[in-house]
Amino acid sequence: MTRVSRGPIVILTGAGISKESGLETFRDSDGIWAKVRVDDVATPEAFARNPAHVHEFYNMRRRRLQAGDIEPNAAHRALVELEAQWPDPVLLVTQNVDDLHERAGHQRLIHMHGELLKARCAFCGDVQAWHDDLSVALSCRHCCRSGGLRPHVVWFGEMPLEMETIFAALSECRLFVSIGTSGTVYPAAGFVSLAASHGVETVELNLEPSAGASLFGESIQGEASVIVPAFVQRLLAGLWAGASAPLASRAMGARGN
Ligand code: BV8
């Protein structure tokens, strides 16, 4: 029975890890894409066609994120504990544009789809922290041109950030953990296959089996605030046995233990 008690870990998170903090997911029945069309707000073409509409979509999410009642949950905190106590590097790659991993205290973090609390100039590429509403009337602090400030967010058809770093980490790690993602958006949805092709142990923690669940060595269902802390505790205690674990431990169920 293989045990993962050493070696680098790569973690991928999606909107499901922030759901219990009060932020909407995308593809749940009550999710964001049930209320607004991707092609109207999350593509470069949408921004070129109607920048004010795209700004309002992200302004609303930026205000919601900073509303005061949105806090990191036990899943975010458990990943910070894993990063602090694990003897080898832990790289957290998030598809989320919220700042809950940072606010929980996570250090080594890549926002592959960008960050809601940053703005980028479409003309000169300058990126700056941005907590207020964005609009076409604003001008860039660097090139002084107006109309080009956009959310520092990766839209469909745009290249996600730091992909070379991510691909290298996936090929060199010992364990790949996917948390709270439906496994429908690429290239993130392909990370499990890349990791597995390098002999990496893979585990999925999600409310329900994702589109790529069958590609993982382990699949654990439940709410992130329950199953992620339980998984981290078992990992730190050297008790998680990986894909060769007895079937009984393959689906720990909602209690996560
Ligand atoms: C690109 C903007 C290439 C930010 C987003 C094959 C290869 C490469 C690309 C493609 C490909 N096939 C298709 C493509 C194109 C496309 C794509 O993947 N389309 C899909 C729909 C088929 N990909 C792209 O365009 C990407 N770019 O590949 O560029 C390239 C090459 C050369 C040159 C230029 C470019 C860009 C993708 C990023 C798009 N931006 N959003 C924002 O507004 O937030 S995507 C959006 O989906 C978010 O970023 C989000 O993070 C991401 C993934 O969604 P999830 O996080 O998984 O959320 P979801 O709601 O889907 O699922 C939540 C899960 O949580 C569920 O499973 C649920 O059960 C679970 N859950 C719920 N509650 C809980 C829970 N789990 C635990 N506990 C709970 N309490």
> Could you give the CA distance from residue 100 to residue 121 in angstroms, rounded to a whole number?
24
Same domain, 139 and 225: no
> Does some domain include residue 254?
no
CATH of the domain at 132: 3.30.1600.10
174 and 77 in one domain?
yes
Q: Are residues 62 and 176 in the same domain?
A: no
190 and 95, same domain (yes or no): yes
Beta carbon of 156 within 6 Å of any ligand 1 atom: yes
147 lines ligand 1 (CB under 6 A): no
Asked if 143 and 188 sit in the same domain, the reply is no
User: 120 CB less than 6 Å from ligand 1?
Assistant: no
To test the pocket of ligand 1, the residue of 35, 36, 61, 156 to mutate (highest count of ligand atoms within 8 Å of its CB) is 156
Which backbone phi and psi does 121 adopt, to 5 degrees? -85, 125
Are residue 100 and residue 190 in the same domain, yes or no?
A: yes
Range of 172's domain? 9-21+71-113+161-240
pLDDT tens track for 111-144: 999 999 999 999 999 999 999 999 999 999 999 9
**Cα(92) to centroid of ligand 1, in Å?**
16
| pLDDT confidence bin for 175, thresholds 50/70/90 | very high
Residue 247 lies in a domain: no
Q: For residues 130 and 219, give the distance between their C-alpha atoms in angstroms, rounded to a whole number.
A: 37
168 and 234 share a domain? Answer: yes
pLDDT digits (tens, 9 = 90+) for 68-114: 999 999 999 999 999 999 999 999 999 999 999 999 999 999 999 99
Q: Compute the C-alpha angle 88/179/165, nearest 5°.
A: 50
Instruction: Give a yes or no: residue 251 inside a domain.
Output: no
Inside any domain, residue 2: no
Active-site residue set:
113
